[in-house]
Structure 1
């Protein structure tokens, strides 16, 4: 499990420094990242995994809430249905006797839940259904898939009528117990 902790700690190394690039906005690209994690361009699904991974490395979400593909010379807005990544796996480890949750995305990114990678859960006001997320890098989130969320709920502690889970010294609320 130590190698997974080391890999999560090194996550983001070697990625382009998109947060430092400030090109002028160049327009909107006909690209969409759908809820199921698929990437589409001009109405066609991008099926080359390496190309999707490449695009994901130059993606960022700015303060305006818009997702952009960014290079040093241009910035193109893209549509994101709910989140650009899916958290498809969670591993539980320990560091200094404390729990650590490590999420893996559909594109192979790792994120250690904690202060820099918080977990949040939106609750639909009409249906009461939870929609859980974890920050992967910058402001980019991963939608936590249903099986992974069920694993989190199974690991959670009940605190009064709240379900909480701890990772890297932070406590995150997953929902309420009726």
Structure 2
């Protein structure tokens, strides 16, 4: 199994060299056989771990994030010839900055993605029924989402206005409900 893990990491490193900043690889077109699991965990706080140790090189986690895909059986790092299952404790990305650009909410993720909230990239807020804590997220690509940090959620709440009984924010033409007016998100 170690040989497959090493081979998988080597293949990903080679892919990074080939990509050279040209955008995201077409992981949706790649359908290799499942090669097994690799001991990579994306913790709930966004830290990427390999065999129990934090991956300290941001370039490497960025590379991994570009070949990450969520399939019905979980998250995988995918190359044209390999598919390795990893563990994601919450969501694979964190939205860490927010700015308003001409009426559009623009987020940056911890892995270098820039996402403009809108119909194709919605903001969704689920509320934990037991704690009533909001859990905001932003669609990044495919079936990959970013957890919106608490501080950014507070920024969204500050920008929000009541719309049909819901505290809502606008990004371009899209409107996203953050929660009911007067329900602790104020």
- TM-score under structure 2 length normalisation: 0.83
Q: Which runs of structure 2 are paired with 1:6-155 in the superposition (5 Å)?
A: 14-62=23-71, 64=72, 66-94=74-102, 99-155=103-159
| Alpha-carbon distance in 1 for matches of 2:49, 2:36 | 17
Runs of 4+ displaced beyond 4 Å: none
- TM-score under structure 1 length normalisation: 0.86
- Kindly state the Cα deviation for residue 65 of structure 1 after the two structures are TM-superposed: 5.6
The structure with more helix, counted as a fraction of residues: 2
Q: Aligned residue for 1:3?
A: none
Q: Which runs of 5+ in 1 are unaligned?
A: 1-11
Greater relative contact order: 1 or 2 (C-alpha under 8 angstroms, separation 6 or more)? 1
Q: What is the RMSD computed on CA atoms of the aligned residues?
A: 1.4
- Kindly state the Cα deviation for residue 82 of structure 1 after the two structures are TM-superposed: 0.7
2:165 to 158, 161, 166: 161
